[in-house]
Chain A
Amino acid sequence: MKLLEVRGVAKSFGSLMAVNRVDLSVDEGEILGVIGPNGAGKSTLFNLIAGLERPSAGGVHFRGRSIAGLGADAVCRLGIAKTFQIPLLFPRLTVAENVLVAALYGGGAGLREGRRQAEEWLAFVGLAHKARMLAETLSVAERRRADLARALATGAPLVLLDENMAGLNQTEVEAVVALLRRVRERGRSLVVTEHIMRAILGLVDRVAVLNYGEKIAEGRPADVMGDPTVVKAYLGEAGV
């Protein structure tokens, strides 16, 4: 059974088809990349999967169970966590408390166990030294790490990372890529969006390409990069 299966999912905002009948699947332990130019519908697709938006059509199945139409909190407790493109935090809680909330509610831990997990995940992302700081004092790169720790602390086997590397420099990107590999080693599956392909090509097992809300290609990174439709969609973007 697939871990996640998205079938013909669509979302329209008025006359704009943000996501247009997209199929997608993720296996256990897999890292799937979803790439596409800005506005291709990557974030909307993530929101549909995570229950933050309701699909206009189509189905989303997690471990064989239909989850389309469930609230984000229920989806999270079932096992899909998401980080945010603009990293959201609980600004006036401490960094540790940010992660604790996810362990308590997403992961169903008790206070003592939740605190232990929060500590562990903060150490994992390299933020243990910031645990007692208020979250609002973190830098952008630190916020992304805290957001990742929060998503991991929910215990969700599937984590959706929405442009987790945007705004980071080359060194920071490499550090995040290494970190995500270690996340997979811990048995989590990942879906990663990025509009800079280079950042994730070495990381992902498979990649799907979105353009104007439609999936235009899917396959192994090397094959997809040679696909003429993909090259066309990206024409004009530097670095391809």
Chain B
Amino acid sequence: MPRLRPTKAVLFAIAALVVLLLLPLAVGPYPVRLATVIFMWAALAGSWNLLAGYAGAVDLGPVVYYGLGAFATAALMLRAGLPFPISVVLSGGVAMLIAFAVGTPTLRLRGAYFAIGTLALAESAKQLALAWDRLTRFPLTGGSAGISLPLSAGYLLFYYVMLVLMAGVTAAALTLGVSRFGYGLRAIGENDRLAEASGVDIHRLKRRVYVGSALAVALTGGTAGYWLSYINAAEVFSASVSFQMVVMALLGGLGTPFGPVLGAAFLTLASEILGTRSPYYYLIAIGAVIVALSLFLPSGLSGLARQWRGRHPRGTA
């Protein structure tokens, strides 16, 4: 068993976490905000990676739980007058219940059918959220106008919450590399029929990781909604959020613990830098970069790191 590698990875992750915890002491508000955006996307892409990268189930509608988290948190704060931390945790619980109910039938779909099913689900959720106030007696979503939240408690809170979310999701992925549950999931991702014939209850394992990933996405969505202090259904349920999660995880390296973090950092920084320098062309440039990376680096940025280590071996274990 490759015991040394995970330990090294964990040490690296802890060192990085300590640096990031202290970062706001050293830099101004702009880099902190930018880092918050990266952490947010890393948490989202990392959650998607847990199911797709390990169990091989491609979910094209993870935005459901992002939008759900945002609106549930907002509703609990605005309607029930609860403070943000309680609201966001409760909305995570709601997302888990819904994910359990949704996952029970949909996770039986295999391959492309699961992808299409979840994509359709996300679109339905968006339409439902847009029509919610018209259809029910409990206005929550503000229809197409959206809703505003109370102005938030300063950017440092969001920096740390998003950092914790990213760290939690990354830690979960690291655990999957060496745990019983992780071996089961990876077996499903490799060959679900053989996993089943080896005694793995594939449906239960997949549902467990789906529910866990829905929790992380909902917590991130709830935090993002409060941070932006304005949410509307068309945006927080937008398929482009799902796709960005997918692209970041693929760019960084599917099924690797740090891939989504790399992908999120790369894409966020690229759009930040290119977006300010050439606002008209940056989307085209990013598109070209994504195409080039997927052509020449199919295993993602963490694959590049592995290749580099392979060519320059030092102190091999």
Contact = CB atoms under 8 A, between A and B. Distances in A.
Interface string A24-62: 000000000000000000000000001010000000000
Nearest to A110: B180
A146 to B, nearest CB: 11
Contacts of B179: 111
Of the candidates B2, B179, B197, the one having the most CB atoms from chain A within 10 angstroms of its own CB is: B197
B194 A105 contact: no
A101 interface: yes
Interface string B268-309: 000000000000000000000000000000000000000000
A73 interface: yes
Interface stretch (B133-141, B166-174, B199-207): B199-207
B316 interface: no
B188 to A, nearest CB: 9
B197 A97 contact: no
Contacts of B187: 90, 93, 101, 105
B296 to A, nearest CB: 21
B180 A82 contact: no
B235 interface: no
Nearest to A154: B199
Nearest to B1: A115
Contacts of B195: 73, 90, 101, 105
Interface string A92-109: 110011001110111110
Contact of A76 (B180, B183, B186, B198): B198
A50 B200 contact: no
Contact of B197 (A52, A91, A104, A115): A52
Given A73-B196, A73-B200, A104 B191 contact: no
A67 interface: no
Interface of B is mostly: helix
A150 interface: yes
A73 B196 CA distance: 5
Contacts of B193: 52, 72, 88
A81 interface: yes
B194 A76 contact: no
Interface residues of B, number: 20
Contacts of A104: 180, 183-184
A204 interface: no
A76 B197 contact: yes
Interface residues of A, number: 34
Contacts of B197: 50, 52, 72-73, 76, 81-82, 84, 88
A82 B198 CA distance: 8
A89 interface: yes
Which has the most chain A C-beta neighbours within 10 Å: B191, B193, B198, B201? B198
A100 B199 contact: no
B196 A72 contact: yes
Contacts of B202: 73
A106 B194 CA distance: 11
A154 B198 contact: yes
A96 B1 contact: yes
Contact of B200 (A96, A101, A110): A101
B184 A105 contact: yes
A202 to B, nearest CB: 28
A71 interface: yes
Interface string A75-88: 01100011010001
A101 B184 contact: yes
B104 to A, nearest CB: 15
B198 A97 contact: no
Contacts of B191: 88-91
B194 A89 contact: yes
Contacts of A52: 193, 196-197
Nearest to A118: B1
B199 A92 contact: no
20 contacts: A52-B193, A72-B197, A76-B196, A81-B198, A89-B190, A89-B194, A90-B190, A90-B191, A91-B190, A91-B191, A97-B1, A97-B186, A101-B183, A101-B184, A102-B199, A104-B183, A108-B199, A111-B180, A115-B1, A154-B199
Given A73-B202, A90-B190, A100-B183, 18 more contacts: A52-B193, A52-B196, A52-B197, A73-B197, A81-B197, A81-B198, A82-B197, A88-B194, A88-B197, A90-B186, A90-B194, A90-B195, A92-B190, A93-B187, A97-B186, A101-B200, A102-B199, A105-B184
